[in-house]
Structure 1
Amino acid sequence: MATSAFEQGPDYVQSLARGLRVLSVFGHELSSPSLSEVAERSGLSRAAARRSLLTLQHLGYVGSRGRSFFLTPRVLELGYSYLSSLDLSELAQQAMEQLSQRVQESCSLAVLDGADVVYVLRVPVRRIMRIALGVGARLPAFTASLGRVILADFDDEDLDAWIKGIEFRAYTAHTVRNAAELKRALKRVRVQGYALTSQELELGLCSIAVPVRAGNGRVVAGLNVSMQFSEQAAERAVGEILPALQQTRDAIEGAIRQGQWMPHLHMKYARD
């Protein structure tokens, strides 16, 4: 991991950074890691990982069972603090519920955080993915329609910087494979005003998304509808779902302009 100039300065709190790196190790694929696994995944020495884990355990964010560690419900306070700071109005939730009922599909609102999109609101209808999605769930932005409508708003310099920090992984045979393919896909998004992805993250899944803009015109979030793949899915997505999706987006943007919803959702990109 490259060391930035800031990390060499007096304002950088190394112990805090280590604690956050330890917390980021926990997830669906590794819910109860051992000390060795935490050290390996975080890039810390065993001694540093142990100190961080014991401190987090003392503070109530981590528990232990034998040689394994696990997150406690107190960690949710950190996520809820972020969601509370967004000042999401009831209008956004209600508009998304109406959209979901209208098209009989799940819809989600997400922001960009580093290489991923993070779900901040979701109205599920039925589960069509193997991955469990909910508020706080993360998906690789380059494969997701939600990510592409946000990335399409980046200028060339910012997009190139963002691409340098990600790994192109082939989740399916349909996943974009490199920067050139992603840039072509984003160019289509800019022209069309929406992103349509089909079976790039998981077979049998497709989705369509539109950008949500703040009053200054910058994209702060993505709004999408996801559905099961079929030969008619793309036609239905553009002909039937897109107009309803755009109406919902317009309602949410109206709330932003009226100051009911704070436009500080967009976490552009993070460099290690």
Structure 2
Amino acid sequence: MNNASLPDDSQERYIVPGLERGLRLLGEFSRTDRTLSAAELARRLQIPRSTVFRLLATLEMMGFVERTDGGREFKLGMAVLRLGFEYLASLELTELGRPLLERLRDDIQLPCNLVVRDGRSIVYVAKSVAPTPFASTVNVGTRLPAHATVLGRVLLEDLTMAELRQLYPEPQLEVFSDSTPRTVEELFDMVQRDRERGYVLQEGFFEASISSIAAPVRDRSGKVVAAMGVTIPAAKIDPNKLDTLVEKVRGAALELSRLLDYRPQDEGKVVPLHRG
């Protein structure tokens, strides 16, 4: 039976009062009310204090609330945070990334993209077009070679030499421009320098008339799961704007990473992978 099709009075028959009260209790905690006493919760919810104590005991046992202030008050527990993180992680990457792309585009007035890697290709999963005469040839779903693009280099950063060799077993890589790495060894050295730098900036890497800046998006484990980048319709980037553009792209990528529960405790201390 589809409960969504039931009239309101029928739906009420399926409500569990204890669960409803427990969820309402959790909803009373907020940024301004981080700790609450049982007496205050009873007053707010207009239910007996004994009922509040039973609800709190159950929620405490399950880790949704914790005692504080010598046991006189309660605060939200780690179980609530885990639920929030799992919810964020369950959202599509594009759902979380698109608003950040649009904000970045509005800020720098340049086309912005979000890509993921599928084998040896990058796939555009979100883009935000800027109001400029530049007409991008890529759309959502466009696939380009990972080893020959700035965004692809970001997505290859976490691979060891052995993994890169498995991905590219051929002795010579396909060349798309004068900047394309010719061998897997050259590609490995290139992406490791990118990894230590924390971003990629390249003028005319895939197309001579286009420059790009890209930064990694990482998940909870620290793994690179996407790349966020900006496309600059020029063979050369204005040096007066360079630092600002890099900072804004990296900031947007880091913000998306944080939404994926990435915590860069050792940011800036990246240990380079070695050939092997």
TM-score bracket, shorter-length normalisation:
0.5 to 0.7
Letter in 1 for 2:214: A
Distance 1:95 1:110 in 2: 14
Structure 2 residue aligned with 1:170: 175
Residue 203 of structure 1 aligns to a residue in which SS?
Answer: coil
Matched position secondary structure for 1:164? coil
What are the within-5 Å matches in structure 2 for residues 68-217 of structure 1? 87-88=92-93, 90-125=95-130, 126=132, 128=134, 132-164=137-169, 168-217=173-222
Q: Retained in 2: the 8 A contact 1:209–1:222?
A: yes
Q: 1:87 to 1:162 in 2, by over 3 A?
A: same
Decide whether aligned partners of structure 1 residues 251 and 232 sit closer, same or farther in structure 2, where only a CA change above 3 A counts: closer
Verify the 8 A CA contact 2:213 2:229 in the aligned structure 1.
yes
1:264 is aligned to none
Residue 121 of structure 2 aligns with an amino acid whose one-letter code is D
Deviation at 1:165, TM superposition (A): 6.3
Q: Distance in 1 between matches of 2:160 and 2:174?
A: 23
Name the TM-score, length of structure 1 as normaliser: 0.57
The higher relative CO (CA closer than 8 Å, separation ≥ 6) is in 1
Q: Which whole-Å deviations, capped at 9, do the CAs of 1:7-65 have from their partners, x for residues lacking one?
A: xxxxxxxxxxxxxxxxxxxxxxxxxxxxxxxxxxxxxxxxxxxxxxxxxxxxxxxxxxx
Partners of 1:107 and 1:224 within 8 A in 2? yes
Q: 1:254 is matched with which residue: 249, 253, 258? A: 258
- Number of residue pairs the alignment of both structures matches: 172
Report deviation, 1:155.
1.8
- Return closer, same or farther for 1:175/1:155 CA change in 2, 3 Å cut-off: closer
CA deviation map 1:92-125 (0-9, x unaligned) = 2111101011111111111111111001111122
How far did 1:144 drift? 1.2
Distance 1:163 1:235 in 2: 38
Does the 8 Å CA contact 2:211/2:237 hold for their aligned counterparts? Answer: no
CA contact (8 A) 1:96 1:107 kept: yes
Aligned-residue sequence identity (percent) comes to 29
Structure 1 residues 135 and 216, CA, compared in 2 at 3 Å: closer, same or farther? same
Which AA in structure 2 matches 1:198?
E
Q: Who is 1:240 aligned against?
A: 244
Judged with a 3 Å threshold, the aligned counterparts in structure 2 of structure 1 residues 177 and 156 are, in CA distance, closer, same or farther, namely closer
Report how far residue 174 of structure 1 moved: 2.8
TM-score normalized with structure 2 length: 0.56
1:257 offset after TM fit, Å?
1.7
Deviation at 1:143, TM superposition (A): 1.4
The 3 A distance-change label for structure 1 pair 196 and 155 is same
Change (3 A) 1:87 1:231: closer
Q: Call closer, same or farther: CA 1:222–1:135 in 2, change over 3 Å.
A: same
**1:108 partner SS:** strand
Deviation at 1:254, TM superposition (A): 2.2
Alignment deviations for residues 118-176 of structure 1 (CA, whole Å, 9 cap, x no partner):
011111224746x7211100111111111111101112221221122696233223322
Q: Distance in 2 between matches of 1:143 and 1:162?
A: 14
8 Å CA contact 1:210–1:249 kept in 2: the answer is yes
Deviates further, 106-115 or 160-169: 160-169
Which residue type is aligned with residue 146 of structure 1? L
Where does structure 2 lack aligned partners over 5 or more consecutive residues? 1-89, 263-276
Distance across 2 between alignment mates of 1:128 and 1:192: 29
SS of residue paired to 2:259: helix
